[in-house]
Structures are given as C-alpha cells and as structure tokens.
Amino acid sequence: MKPPDLTKRRKMLQDLRVRLLARQATNRPRTVLKQPQAFLTDVGDALVYPTCGGECINPYVASKEQGRDGAGRIGWKQDGWSAMIIVDVGRAFDFLAWYRPLTLATATPQKPTLAALRLDVLWTMRRPGVCSALHFKKMELEKVGTLPIDKERLRRSFLDMRPGTSQAINNISLANALSVGPSIPAVLMKPYPTILGIEQILSG
C-alpha cells in the first residue's frame, strides 16, 4: 500500500477502536438470577379473577381495556368471573418458578366464593405457565382460600401431568391458560381433561 493509503487505513482502524471501546464501556452487564424465584402462590390456593367473554385480563397491555374480549375485539370490559386452583408448582433448574392451574370450564356472572367452588362444577386441567408479581397484580388475581389437594387423587384424575419446565424456559405466561368459556368453545376444550367437582381431588 502507498503511504497515503496506509495513513488512511491507520486512521480508520483508530476510529474503529474508539467506537468499540466506547460500546464496551456503555454496555450494561446482563441481569441474572442470584437466587430461585419466590413462589407467588402454592398448591391448593384458590384464586378468582375477572373475565370478559371468558377472557382474562391481558397482562402485556398497558391497560386492561386495551385487551381483547371473548370475540377477539379490542375493548376488554369485565362481564364475569372465573377461578383456578393451583394444583402443582415447581422450579425449572431449581430457579424458574412455574404454576399449573385447574380452571373453571366456563365463566360465571357472580364472583365465586370458596364454598361455591366446592360445589359440583366442571373443572378443566390446563397447561403450566409462569407469573411475575406484576402480571399477578395486572390480572387482578385474588386468593379466596386454600383447598387440601390430595396428590394421589390428583394423579389418578389427571394421568399426564408433566412439569412446567418448558413453559418456564420459554417464559410462557400463566395468562395463556386462564381463558375459559364462552371465549374457548367447548369443542376446543375437549383435549383438556376435566372433572366434575373439586372434591374428587381433595383429601379427607
């Protein structure tokens, strides 16, 4: 290379070095978990939550009104309630918390009480999901009591209960498992196992 070209190349490399060093200085270290995620709820906890046409609140939108109703239209507005019982919890790699809910098959017009949940109503086993404290608050989940889940009865009623490792790794929200009828048609709920009456999986 000719001297002018070498000078030009040297200047270009110096400029590149300055930019690379500046980028390294401004890059923040990645946030990593230093301890296992705390469980926000535990096995047996009964939680109720508001619905619109069977759809729970979308925790990813700025306000619940920006979410979709049971017909897929934007403009979420509460017209009912649903409930879930947490039947299993765990941590992927002993760090990432996940939860498996058993939900009512269909939303109800009245806010469920713990006594009402123990009547002969239809329950549907759903896939596990994760839930941050922020999502817990935005979905307006409310604990109404705790039920004594019998693990052996639970296993007999639901034979294929795989841990939520995959959902925890892929950060799949519990919100994906909380929509119920009429938002989810009965034909689409058929693949999910059901029980009539929560007493079938309770101890005592």
List % helix, strand, coil for the chain (3-state, nearest 5): 30, 25, 45
Sign (positive or negative) of CA dihedral 75, 127, 82, 96: negative
Query: Average pLDDT, stretch 38-52?
Result: 97
Report pLDDT digits (tens) over 140-196. 999 999 999 999 999 999 988 899 999 999 999 999 999 998 876 655 666 678 999
Domain assignment present for 50: yes
Structure-model confidence comparison of residues 31 and 36, the more confident one: 36
Domain that holds residue 157: 45-201
Phi, psi angles (nearest 5°) of residue 5: -70, -40
Q: Of the ranges 61-75, 127-141, 142-156, which one carries the lowest mean pLDDT score? A: 61-75
Residue 177 in domain = yes
Q: What is the pTM of this model?
A: 0.80
- Within a domain: residue 73? yes
Give the range among 2-16, 83-97, 128-142 with minimum mean pLDDT: 2-16
Strand 122-125 vs strand 194-196: parallel, antiparallel, or unpaired?
antiparallel
Which of the four pLDDT bands, split at 50, 70 and 90, describes residue 33?
Answer: low
d(CA 90, CA 199): 23
Question: Is residue 36 situated within a structural domain?
Answer: no
3-state secondary structure of 149: strand
CA distance linking residue 157 with residue 16, whole number of Å: 64
pLDDT of 1 > 80? The answer is no
- Does the pLDDT at position 59 exceed 90? yes
Averaged pLDDT, 23-43: 77
Could you tell me where the DSSP H helices lie in 78-184? 114-117, 133-138, 151-157, 165-169
**2, part of any domain:** no
The answer to whether 120 and 197 have CB atoms below 8 angstroms apart is: yes
Averaged over 47-52, what is the pLDDT? 97
Is the peptide bond prior to 101 cis by the omega test (within 30 degrees of 0)?
no
pLDDT score at 137: 97
Tell me the C-alpha to C-alpha distance, in Å, between residue 18 and each of 5, 11, 12, 56, 198.
20, 11, 10, 51, 66
Least confident of 25-29, 118-122, 167-171: 25-29
* Res. 60: pLDDT tops 80: yes
Residue 32 lies in a domain: no
Q: Could you tell me if residue 101 is left (phi over 0), alpha (psi between -120 and 50 degrees) or otherwise beta?
A: beta
Domains held by the chain: number: 1
Looking at residue 83, its pLDDT comes to: 98
| Rounded Cα distance, 194 and 64, in Å | 29
Is residue 4 in some structural domain? no
Per-residue model confidence (pLDDT) at position 21: 73
Rounded to the nearest integer, the mean pLDDT of the chain is: 89
Beta bridge partners of 145: 46
CA distance linking residue 202 with residue 161, whole number of Å: 17
186 inside domain: yes
